Amino acid sequence: MLIYCARRIMVMIPTLVAISILVFIIIQLPPGDYLTTYIAELQAQGEQVAQGKIEFLRKQYGLDKPYWEQYLLWFGGMLTGDFGYSFEYDLPVSEVVGDRLYLTFLLSFSTILFTWAVAFPIGIYSATHQYSWGDHGLTFLGFLGLATPNFLLALVLLYIGKVYFGTSIGGLMDPKYLQEPMSWGKFLSILEHLWVPVIVIGTSGTAAMIRRLRANLLDELQKQYVVTARAKGLPRIKVLTKYPLRMALNPFIADIGNLLPQVVSGAAIVSLVLSLPTTGPMLVEALRSQDMYLAGSFLMFLAVLTVAGVLLSDLALAALDPRIRLGAGSEH
Amino acid sequence: MTERNNAQDPWPEPAPLGHTVSDAPFDPYSVERVSPEQERYYLATQWQLMWWKLKRHRLAVWSGVFLLVLYGSIFFSELLAPYGLDTRHTDSLYHPPQAVHLFHEGEFVGPFVYGTTSKFDLKDFQWEHAVDRTKIERIRFFCFGDTYEYFGLFEASFHLFCPSEDGKLFLLGTDRLGRDVLSRIIYGARISLTVGLFGILISFAIGIVIGGLAGYYGGWVDNVSQRLIEIIRSFPELPLWMALSAALPVTWSPILIYFGITIILGLLDWTGLARAVRSKLLALREEDFTTAAVLMGAKPSRVIGRHLVPNFMSHLIASATLSIPHMILGETALSFLGLGLRPPITSWGVLLVEAQNINVVALYPWLMLPVVPVILTILAFNFLGDGLRDAADPYKNA
């Protein structure tokens, strides 16, 4: 197990380095840099920009160096906790980002829990009552969740919350807690606001999860040991929970790898609509204004969140299923 | 033995059977002969088998028909839409959808809508559209209305249906600028539906080439491509799409942006396909027919393209069908965020930009209607894809 862990973590390092290169290329892709945008803006307002000042700014932000040097500076800085400087906010990135990272993490984590909580009973019901009305209905509901664009669902829920419950469910907490440090009241307020984005983001992932669990469980239920167990007179529920369910559970954990990027993606757009203080809205802003270090840090953070999630799911899977940790490394 | 020979034998020995001979002429091939039914089945091509299997999946077939109709409609958008894409009705901004009636005061008139009188309410700063029950505006069919340029080829003004002369017809209401929502949805289909198709073509090409190389050559090619796929997959899709489409230069024309977006959607989607191709190729390259092809001097590109890929083309098509809706949703989301397509190019996502805030949901809910075709299309693609996936394996439970 220890060897498996070590090997798995070793694999992660080059992946992260490759991702950081990719992120750096992406944030460099737009023509020009923040300063050209900034200068164009100043000139549009009729202000003269001295050539000397531009040179000075360019030098200060290290924009005059070759790309590889800029990359090394950026990557090296990240390792020491220095995420660069946000041009737009005129602050170090780490200060601009602040709480947003934790809240993104909280949101993603709750969404996955929600997905499990919903997909689990429905998947079991659908598999044990195959082709019943309940199965068809629930499957269809899942499909509908898959097909509805998240942002629109968010809008409608926002409206329903406003009209029927009289609460403003935009944001992640009551406005009065915004500037306050973490406290019990703030925590409760966050919980109160969390359910809408969680449901909205969860809908798309849930459908896929239900279908996978259903398919797996159906496969297991047709195996001979289940027939034997039934023939011996074991109660239905016991047969189900003792073996097939445990086998069918593997994908739940293995699927985090697929689910997490999806959840993070969903969170980005839903956060925009609901104006949640997570990474999504600020990322879009940063991308628009070419605030490259801010955008880069967000992209990097999201990628790291995903990679770490996949790592955790792999480790959990290895702990649960000896076949995986013993067969580690051999792909075919 | 002794017991059997007792005086009262309950089971007497049966009399020997008479010798029987069949008069029918002897036919040594009778076992091998097949009924026409069976013959049809055995001689059917793979695609025929798939079609028979698919036909049994009702929902998939209907979804396929629905999609065909939808895709067919994009050739006739101009005819189907009662108004042009950018026709503005400055006196009916935010006009609510009109109901189609058949009877007026118990009398049959044919399909018509009641006219409305619109005025701007200066107190609430809102448009008010009062239904005028006396004004009957009959819908005309096969008529001449707004002029348009059919695919830039020639000018015409023929429509499937139009409003009555100097009347209005807003079946799904109008937007902020007084443009007919129904017409815009019909035009939007052209962009929204093709984004997925072009995207999938690109992802197909990349997926087959990279997956093919990885599976055929194995070794370091395989290793590198596998790591690459892992890295791309570990990235959350939407933020990456956002970043890439933010990188598209602002100076590009809308049509270039459209192609840029399809390329971006395709660039990130090929990973799943490449994996499928690779794993199939790994198995198939060991088969005898591959060895035969190689020994006969076929180039790798021919072996892959002619002998290997057709073996699992059906699977690829099924999985492609399942990833088109993904791209349509992606485009919708990007455009909604303002990072995707931009007007004057009109897709369903661009239309939904109008429905971006809660006021719209409360006051002008019909502006959210473009989501209906999005949902229907995606459902249809999913059902069809499911059916195709089952059908791709014609010998399973055949």
The Cα A257–Cα A251 span in angstroms is 10
Ranges of chain A whose pLDDT falls below 50: 328-332
Residues of A in contact with B351 (CB under 8 A): none
Query: Using one digit for the tens of pLDDT, what is the confidence trace for B163-207?
Result: 877 777 888 888 888 888 888 899 888 888 888 888 888 988 898
pLDDT number for residue B155: 80
Cβ-contact B73, B80 below 8 angstroms:
yes
Tell me if B339 and A284 make a contact (CB, 8 A cut-off). yes
Q: Torsion angle of alpha carbons B371, B375, B377, B383, nearest 10°?
A: 180
Query: Using one digit for the tens of pLDDT, what is the confidence trace for A251-290?
Result: 677 777 777 777 777 777 787 777 777 777 777 777 777 7
> Which residues between 33 and 72 in chain A have a beta carbon less than 8 angstroms from any beta carbon of chain B?
none
The ipTM of this complex is: 0.74
More confident residue, B310 or A85: B310
> Which residues between 210 and 239 in chain B have a beta carbon less than 8 angstroms from any beta carbon of chain A?
227, 230-231, 233-239
Residues of B in contact with A273 (CB under 8 A): 356
Reading the block at residue A113, the tokens are 């829990």
pLDDT band at B1 (very low <50, low <70, confident <90, very high): very low
pLDDT band at B295 (very low <50, low <70, confident <90, very high): very high
Interface residue B246 vs chain A (CB under 8 A): yes
pLDDT number for residue A178: 61
Interface residue A166 vs chain B (CB under 8 A): no
Q: What does A207-225 look like in DSSP terms, one character per residue?
A: HHHHHHHHHHHHHHHTSHH
Lowest mean pLDDT among B1-5, B53-57, B67-71, B287-291: B1-5
Residues of B in contact with A148 (CB under 8 A): 371, 375
Q: Chain A closest CA to B327's CA: distance in Å?
A: 12
Nearest to B239 by CA among A242, A164, A22: A22
Rounded to an integer, what is the distance from CA B50 to the centroid of its chain? 18
What percent of chain B has pLDDT above 90?
Answer: 3
pLDDT number for residue B68: 93
pLDDT number for residue B7: 53
The Cα B373–Cα B388 span in angstroms is 22
pLDDT number for residue B69: 93
The Cα A105–Cα A108 span in angstroms is 5
Residues of B in contact with A304 (CB under 8 A): none
Interface residue B244 vs chain A (CB under 8 A): yes
Beta strands per DSSP E along B5-153? 101-104, 107-121, 126-138, 140-150
Residue type, B246: A
Residues of A in contact with B375 (CB under 8 A): 144, 147-148
Nearest to B279 by CA among B319, B306, B231: B319
The Cα B86–Cα B164 span in angstroms is 19
pLDDT number for residue B2: 47
pLDDT number for residue B45: 77
Q: Do you find a cis peptide bond into B344, omega within 30 degrees of 0?
A: yes
pLDDT number for residue A172: 65
Interface residue A332 vs chain B (CB under 8 A): yes
Query: Using one digit for the tens of pLDDT, what is the confidence trace for B39-62?
Result: 777 777 777 877 887 888 888 889
More confident residue, B72 or B57: B72
Task: Specify the pTM.
Answer: 0.78
Interface contacts (A, B; CB < 8 Å)? 127
Residues of B in contact with A152 (CB under 8 A): 352, 355, 368, 371
The distance in angstroms from the start CA to the end CA of chain B is 54
pLDDT number for residue B65: 93
More confident residue, B118 or B63: B63
Contacts of B255 (CB under 8 A, 6+ apart): B345
